[in-house]
Amino acid sequence: MNEELSYAEMLEIPVETVTVTHREKRKRSQESDSELRDQVVERVNDRMQETEDPLYAESTPIEREGRPESKKTKRAKRVLFAEFAAVCAICAAIFLTNIFLPQSAINTFVRGLFYGQGETVADTRTYQDFTLSPVVNEFEEVELAVSETGVLSFTADCAVYAPCEGTLVSVNGDGMSGFTVELKHSDSFSTIISGLNDVYYSVGEKVKSNVPLAHTDGERTVRVMFYSDGSILNNYTVAENTLAWA
């Protein structure tokens, strides 16, 4: 700026009329640098695209749509499809054999997995292999009676016990008319008890002879009947609420 004023004084030009114009060198320099940088970037990108450099691929967005699948991906899809087809084939085979061949080996195997072994060991014990227990508590003053046909009966407000350990296989009736239960002790020996107000077990549960099976309120007669191979037994005795085979 001082140079322009000195030059104006030499030419005897009034300083007030001199207009000093500044040249924006820095701005142009920045524009040149920007243009040069853009050119360099374009050239580098062109070279990277030609050489397919992995570093360049990582620095740019990946276009997944329309990109061809790798061999590894295709192989994994084929394996999954094969496994799915195998599972479908097995399910179809089980379904068809369950309809047309219910006793086939595969159905037996599947039933064993889900429901356990269908075959159980036979319980060949007879009634004589069991020791009878009191059907009422020994401390209860209950009068027991036995008919000629072998029906044990009593009327009292008390707990009722199973004469032998076994499984509760059925419960019929209701609290108003009285429940009738059946206990299975072995394949040939069972007990039926009727006239109960409440039953403490559910069908399928194991019953102990020292745990109350049911309760009676004394308003109806409770009857106990022993069966062997479907025939009622009468060859037992009662003495002070204790039962024993004759």
| Sequence-separated (6 or more) residues with CB below 8 Å from residue 6 | none
- In this predicted structure, what is the pLDDT of residue 234? 94
Average pLDDT over residues 161-185: 95
Give the model confidence (pLDDT) of 203-222 as tens digits.
999 999 999 999 999 999 99
Distance between CA atoms of 231 and 223, rounded to whole angstroms? 16
pLDDT tens per residue across span 141-169: 899 999 999 999 999 999 999 999 999 99
Distance CA 182, CA 171 (A): 7
Strand partners, 206: 167
Give tens-digit pLDDT for 49-101: 665 555 544 555 545 555 566 677 778 888 888 888 888 888 787 777 666 66
Inform me whether the pLDDT recorded for 190 exceeds 60. yes
pLDDT at 38: 73
What pLDDT score was predicted for residue 42? 74
Measured CA to CA in angstroms, residue 151 lies from 154, 158, 237 at distances of 10, 19, 11
Please check the confidence at residue 135 and state whether its pLDDT lies above 70.
yes
All residues at 6 or more sequence positions from 123 whose CB lies less than 8 Å from its CB, including other chains: 186, 187
**How many angstroms separate the Cα of 20 from the Cα of each of 12, 15, 25, 36, 152?**
16, 10, 15, 31, 136
Q: Which two tokens stand for residue 134?
A: 């009191």
Q: Where are the domains of the chain?
A: 2-50, 73-115, 127-245
- Record the tokens describing residue 122, joined without a space: 């036979």
Residue 246 has a pLDDT of 87
Angle in degrees, CA 114, 119, 120, rounded to 5: 110
Mean pLDDT of 115-133: 81
User: Hey, which residues does 180 pair with through a beta bridge?
Assistant: 172, 194
Q: What is the CATH number of domain 127-245?
A: 2.70.70.10
Compare 179 and 241 and report the one with higher pLDDT.
179
Does this model's pTM top 0.85? no
pLDDT at 179 over 60: yes
**Weakest mean pLDDT among 26-40, 70-84, 100-114:** 100-114
